[in-house]
Structure 1
């Protein structure tokens, strides 16, 4: 059975070699570099203890330095499963979700035709190269040498050519070589008019050969020197050889350079790539006249796990980035992402290199942002979030974007970063901001603002119970701290209640490091709806801080703390305690504001405000008042059962705040 052209290439693009080999070996993670697609393991073909079997995901080949076995994914399946070639293809196609083609007796003919088309393309490249060196190409040479500043050696490396301003120059040259008209047209270099006449597709243009990963010429790109031309750049049409959405300009050389550790940089066009490569950035590629496609993204990830997309500093460049984000989100995998380097306004990589040189471009690349930062910028830039409705709209759009991510682990980490950014936007000044364009420190360390190289400083350890207000002699402060502790402990043990109280948790006024730490842990799990595992994960994240709270006697005796399955009691306790805390903090804020005002100009209105605020604090301490015989209504309108309220009041009555919050004997 013959396979159609391109089937095996598509199959190899869809399945990584490491995923095939990984079913038969155990990787040596000390020697492997997963981010670079470099894997080592003991050879599955002969008995050994050392890891001498090497898999290179970028190149798609394996090699054993012991028994010298080598091959690709199909070869590995043939050797390890004792399969024929077509059986290995069928197995790999099932894994990749590809339909095996029907038997095609003409497939061999098609393969021969592709070889013939490739030969026509090579003849066209040679012809345009001769025209470029001849007198007719003087204008093109001046443009490339003076405006683009490419050396003669660089012009030869990129095989730059010139299509003369003639309708039949290439046509006559191919006829002289004996090339049939149908091959000329099917290769894309010759076009057929409505009247059936043949003419050169490229006229009066600088020519850039487009080669596939194997180095075969598959199409041409032309740059017009006429400022009034309808299209500045023109690519050849899609043919049996050339699929715009499945190829990259400079694919082969960039893959080789990336394999040696160079970062993969994605430009917009031919000249961006040529300029970057000549400036010392050899792993540069560009899409071919289209927006980046899913297939091109997969090609990039096969070359490098984290390509850097360069964005022109204009509106069009920003829009292009946003399209790439939507395309990439469903395809993300662990260790496989994108970064975005935003260039100065009005400049592309070629312009920046000409004006400021390679160090300026390197600086831009060093500051490349992760994709989550661009996603956040897209959803927030130019918008004002001064109402609950606008904030809710932002949350909805972000949730919809994150739902596109199929990998649960990546989706979780994106959610955590978005939550940090959301906090910084809505509560700026309440806690230190975390910047996504700087590396994070090691556990127990934080980075000061001021750039990528800011020196880390130690974070103060969490306050212990003895150092907190729970152990002080300030009775009023101890009441508030104890209530906060009860609320946070309740959320930790009953995570199903976090979601409905998220806004109240964010508004809590906390002065204790331990409480702030626990609040962040609680908010991180706000949208985790897996009841079987959420509580355990939350407890692990809370760590010693939660153990410290649960060790306090007045927290330990709470019914819903002793019985984590008693969610009804937990809900009622939260409603009551959050209402008291909100009333207390609101009254305190009013008193502070009135006190500040009274320092400037005292009058009866201000003194009345202070007295009313003091009364509100006293009322908050009393809790909800009776509304009817069988129930009570809290200040926030929540109805509570009388029996539950009596139990809660008995608990609070048992606390002797003059003894630092200890129970009366």
Structure 2
């Protein structure tokens, strides 16, 4: 639509920029000068504490010295309300009391029709809300109270009730002066085959559905009868309502996301309400359908990386996997998805009621990137120990990444999936075979030569010192997983140690974060299945009896202390040698010699391990029996290492 000359200038003249911006910010009155039209506030477009957002009312422009956002009043409405240009003009014209210019006859007629449909919907919402207060709605009120919603929350969400009567709403709307055809066109009533008109929603709790501009465009209803054909029923597609192009709670979620909250995508109305009431106001839900491309684009207009919160059941996981396939071709730099999978059998409402908002926050904080869930889908529960199965997996991953249109995103996905594939093939082929190898039979380990691309992330391609480090790191991590009660004693050392094994650093972080979890192993298998499985199934870990789940804590503690001490001593020795090589200038240096010798002593001391008075190891062949004095010696050895410099001790 074209606007007549001067219309926008008149619009900007009638509305001051500070008047519009003032609804979104809190002015810093110490810095602002109202008389000069000079206003300052924290920027509404990024999180900050200082007032770096400047509004010049006389010129009608704003500028942020932090994020460099700038523009006029129309730009501000577009950016803050996430609207298009004409929608911003309409909002501002309504605010200024200016009629929009007439459109062509057909467009004007269509707009009038849509306006009338909105009026029908608003009256229907009011009527349903009144019905919730009647005696017929006693069971509905009891159900709402059982779900933990207060009267204030019911009013906030405009929840109503549809009596189980054929034409109650129809009669009420006709009495308001609406014609039957318009009522049917709005979707609140339907026409039967015999031409009679009946209420579409009957015996249901009603949830109004509003668009991004806050207009009522449809309704959702939850059946009170457990035997109803559909538990949830949405209004039909109309000139106002397109299920695949709208989101439940769109406008409030957009505003909350603009203030820094993560955008959460839940499954249904009650999940959105429960999350919002618990403090997660930036929550939306699709409307009775699987997530569509248009809804994904709407989400990305609100936030760059929405969190898909899914029920921890089979249906929830299936829904997540469908979203992955839908999103792959649409990915762009900076636009992605994260997936928060709830505990089995729980939805967000259940989790918040049983464990509180902090439990839900923890689920959101540990949401996985999309590539992790994609990898899990393609590999979970499968074995890739033959060239054929490995080739099949690589072909499948190649086909999936080929769907990504963005060149840079495609490259990153290929790199991440390639690294995961290499690690998986190595870990599964590295297991001991249960079937004895026949004499002369071929083995993957029989092939020598330089590391191939598929093994460059494995131990076979790492320097000798790093191989030993990686093995000991695996022992440390496995001991923590099987004996989480020891983590607190070694927490400081674990935090400061630089892990070099692939996936070990991530696993260390998760172990420290979830160390108090009732079942640490289960949590790690859910959030980082590949690194966890790789560590626990590593041959070196499996033959170390002292750290097995059945071993006493004393044995595991000794093994953990010894592994940490050896790691630190070896790294300190390598570091001193490396620095000594740099320091040598052709003349012997007594201090240099002393440093290297002390590092070697620490390394040899750690390598000897706990011994008894006769110089024999205290640990029995099964790796379980220990002497208490020698365990204390191991602890002292572990504590003597200076962790602040990667294990370097001695004179500086």
TM-score, L = length of structure 1: 0.53
Partner of 1:565: none
Kindly indicate whether residue 371 of structure 2 is the aligned counterpart of residue 331 of structure 1: no
Q: Deviations over 1:59-104 (max 9, x none)?
A: xxx754xxxx23249999xxxxxxx999x9xxxxxxxxxxxxxx96
Q: Distance in 2 between matches of 1:155 and 1:128?
A: 12
Partner of 2:123: 123
Distance 1:242 1:32, change over 3 A: closer
| Segments ≥4 residues shifted beyond 3 Å | 31-36, 40-43, 50-56, 72-76, 429-434, 446-454, 456-461
Distance 1:433 1:262, change over 3 A: farther
Distance 1:32 1:207, change over 3 A: closer
Kindly indicate whether residue 219 of structure 2 is the aligned counterpart of residue 213 of structure 1: no
Partner of 2:604: none
- Match runs of 1:606-625 below 5 Å: none
Kindly indicate whether residue 441 of structure 2 is the aligned counterpart of residue 401 of structure 1: no
Q: Distance in 1 between matches of 2:276 and 2:143?
A: 19
Partner of 1:145: 145
Say whether the 8 Å CA contact 2:46–2:260 is kept in structure 1: no
Q: Distance in 2 between matches of 1:85 and 1:222?
A: 33
Q: Distance in 1 between matches of 2:347 and 2:86?
A: 47
Shift of 1:110: 0.4
Distance 1:432 1:396, change over 3 A: closer
Q: Distance in 2 between matches of 1:298 and 1:35?
A: 24
Q: Distance in 1 between matches of 2:212 and 2:78?
A: 20
Partner of 2:233: 234
Q: Deviations over 1:196-222 (max 9, x none)?
A: 100000000000000011110000000
Partner of 1:204: 203
| Structure 2: stretches of 5+ with no match in the other structure | 4-42, 80-84, 90-102, 431-454, 460-472, 482-486, 502-652
Q: Distance in 1 between matches of 2:73 and 2:401?
A: 41
Shift of 1:460: 7.8
Q: Distance in 2 between matches of 1:339 and 1:310?
A: 9
Matched pairs, number: 388
SS of 1:344's equivalent? coil
Partner of 2:287: 288
Q: Distance in 1 between matches of 2:229 and 2:425?
A: 48
Distance 1:2 1:142, change over 3 A: farther
- Match runs of 1:478-557 below 5 Å: none
Distance 1:220 1:399, change over 3 A: same
Say whether the 8 Å CA contact 1:212–1:218 is kept in structure 2: yes
Distance 1:385 1:142, change over 3 A: same
Partner of 1:114: 114
Shift of 1:382: 2.1
Distance 1:154 1:194, change over 3 A: same
Distance 1:73 1:361, change over 3 A: closer
Distance 1:72 1:314, change over 3 A: same
Q: Distance in 1 between matches of 2:47 and 2:304?
A: 6
Say whether the 8 Å CA contact 1:314–1:346 is kept in structure 2: yes
Q: Distance in 2 between matches of 1:224 and 1:405?
A: 41
- Match runs of 1:395-474 below 5 Å: 395-428=394-427, 455-458=495-498
Partner of 1:224: 223
Kindly indicate whether residue 73 of structure 2 is the aligned counterpart of residue 70 of structure 1: yes
Partner of 2:36: none
Kindly indicate whether residue 306 of structure 2 is the aligned counterpart of residue 307 of structure 1: yes
TM-score, L = length of structure 2: 0.54
Q: Deviations over 1:609-638 (max 9, x none)?
A: xxxxxxxxxxxxxxxxxxxxxxxxxxxxxx
Distance 1:322 1:207, change over 3 A: same
Q: Distance in 1 between matches of 2:500 and 2:252?
A: 50
Partner of 1:319: 318
Shift of 1:456: 5.0
Say whether the 8 Å CA contact 2:419–2:457 is kept in structure 1: no
SS of 2:497's equivalent? strand
Q: Deviations over 1:629-651 (max 9, x none)?
A: xxxxxxxxxxxxxxxxxxxxxxx
Greater C-alpha Rg: 1
Partner of 1:132: 132
SS of 1:218's equivalent? strand
Say whether the 8 Å CA contact 2:209–2:218 is kept in structure 1: yes
Distance 1:379 1:122, change over 3 A: same
Distance 1:75 1:125, change over 3 A: closer
Q: Distance in 2 between matches of 1:323 and 1:204?
A: 33
Partner of 2:167: 168
| Structure 1: stretches of 5+ with no match in the other structure | 4-30, 57-61, 77-83, 89-102, 435-445, 462-665
Q: Deviations over 1:540-591 (max 9, x none)?
A: xxxxxxxxxxxxxxxxxxxxxxxxxxxxxxxxxxxxxxxxxxxxxxxxxxxx
Partner of 1:370: 369
Q: Deviations over 1:310-344 (max 9, x none)?
A: 11111111111111011111111111110000111
Distance 1:52 1:316, change over 3 A: closer
SS of 1:292's equivalent? coil
Q: Distance in 2 between matches of 1:358 and 1:416?
A: 36
SS of 1:424's equivalent? helix
Q: Distance in 2 between matches of 1:106 and 1:390?
A: 61
Q: Distance in 2 between matches of 1:226 and 1:153?
A: 26
Say whether the 8 Å CA contact 1:2–1:105 is kept in structure 2: no
Say whether the 8 Å CA contact 2:117–2:185 is kept in structure 1: yes
Say whether the 8 Å CA contact 1:159–1:208 is kept in structure 2: yes
Q: Deviations over 1:13-55 (max 9, x none)?
A: xxxxxxxxxxxxxxxxxx998999xxx9999xx99xx964898
Say whether the 8 Å CA contact 1:54–1:63 is kept in structure 2: no
Say whether the 8 Å CA contact 1:122–1:217 is kept in structure 2: yes
Q: Distance in 1 between matches of 2:361 and 2:290?
A: 24
Shift of 1:414: 1.2
Shift of 1:433: 8.7
SS of 2:281's equivalent? coil
Q: Distance in 1 between matches of 2:54 and 2:262?
A: 29
Say whether the 8 Å CA contact 2:248–2:284 is kept in structure 1: yes
Distance 1:205 1:459, change over 3 A: closer
Say whether the 8 Å CA contact 1:55–1:63 is kept in structure 2: no
Q: Distance in 1 between matches of 2:290 and 2:128?
A: 28
Distance 1:419 1:138, change over 3 A: same
Partner of 2:463: none
Partner of 2:245: 246
Shift of 1:356: 1.2
